[in-house]
Amino acid sequence: MNIWVVGAGSIGMLLAAKLALAGQAVRVVTHSEEQARAIMDEGLRLVEGDNEYVARPEAIAFRQLKRLAPAAAQAPDWLLLTVKQQHLTDELMTVLGKWCARGTRLLAWQNGIGHVERLADHIPASRLDTAVTTEGARKNSLNEIHHTGFGMTRIGCAIEPGEAEERQGTEQRQKKLISALHMAGFEVSLSNNMREIAWNKLLVNAVINPLTALLQVPNGRLLELEPLMPLMRSLYEEGVEAAHAENVRLQEDLWEQVLEVCRRTANNASSMLQDVTAGRPTEIDWVNGALLQAARKHGLTLMANSTMYRLIKSIEAKQRQSGE
């Protein structure tokens, strides 16, 4: 299969490396030309347990991709969109939309919520899928990725397909991608309720991500800080309130799952901690910020989530000021 991975951050590099090692034709679309060159010249290194592998995907910078005229003959089967929410610009979505008009399907891997609505302005809804994953990875350099925790991934249509015929064609293509992901060593299943799955994961991220970023600790340490537990619980319960107001059904054992993710990914630096450490903007607007926005529509106030939001926004502002 011909697969393009757009966004060479931790999840993008992990997917590109493992799919290429499993024999798929992979092209990575990077932000910088420097990163594309590093991958082309030296390959994409994957560290997994005690093993190290070198994958050889093709790499191209977004600036070059923009210059290519989309042609059906070269259109990939899949675009795996792995940029963070803050990098989902109109320009990027417009370029990807042109490829999707040639028959390509797009699978969006963003954390949080809100991206489906933005993508649907550029990509036909019938070609748009979303993924929710708990894979853990850390980018060590421009061309080295460390697979820090094996997780699970659910994929499915971003918006439920209408016609039965369309549904069948879609499912066949999704199953083909799932089989490629299985061969690459990922645990993946198909879902027909991605909105619900995204919200369930959102509540996990709304507890773990801001707290790990503020306290500068890996996920597992949250469970060892006794004074923190009531705050974790408040963040979670406010999330439940917002989800119910939005008519989203949550898994009954979701609180247990929050704790389980901390245990299972104990040594992981959450994506928000990685962003803060690197001085990058975070995904707070699409995680706790998205909860606040949903709550506002129903006249709800989420005190704990609002405090997390303001603290992370303040860190971002401070980093911007010291970078000026």
Residues that bind ligand KPL (CB under 6 A): 111, 134, 136, 204-205, 208-209, 219, 261, 265, 268, 270-271
Q: Which is nearer to ligand KPL, 24 or 270 (CB)?
A: 270
Identify the CA nearest to 300 among candidates 225, 219, 241, 248.
Answer: 241
Q: Are 145 and 47 in contact (CB under 8 A)?
A: yes
The tokens describing 206, both together, are 């709304």
Minimum distance from residue 323 beta carbon to ligand KPL (Å): 23
Q: Which is nearer to ligand KPL, 111 or 305 (CB)?
A: 111
Minimum distance from residue 274 beta carbon to ligand KPL (Å): 8
Instruction: Report the largest interatomic distance among the alpha carbons of the chain, rounded to a whole angstrom.
Output: 59
282: left (phi over 0), alpha (psi -120 to 50) or beta: beta
Q: Assign 249 to helix, strand or coil.
A: coil
Q: Which is nearer to ligand KPL, 131 or 204 (CB)?
A: 204
Q: Which is nearer to ligand KPL, 9 or 43 (CB)?
A: 9
Q: Are 133 and 151 in contact (CB under 8 A)?
A: yes
Minimum distance from residue 301 beta carbon to ligand KPL (Å): 25
Minimum distance from residue 276 beta carbon to ligand KPL (Å): 12
Q: Which is nearer to ligand KPL, 43 or 112 (CB)?
A: 112
The tokens describing 266, both together, are 């104990």
What is d(CA 321, CA 323) in angstroms, rounded to the nearest whole number? 5
Minimum distance from residue 134 beta carbon to ligand KPL (Å): 5
Q: Which is nearer to ligand KPL, 72 or 229 (CB)?
A: 229
At 113, which amino acid appears? I
Minimum distance from residue 133 beta carbon to ligand KPL (Å): 8
Could you tell me which residues come within 8 angstroms of residue 214 by beta carbon, excluding any fewer than 6 positions away?
A: 308, 311, 312, 315
Please measure the distance between the N-terminal and C-terminal CA atoms of the chain and give it in whole angstroms. Answer: 45
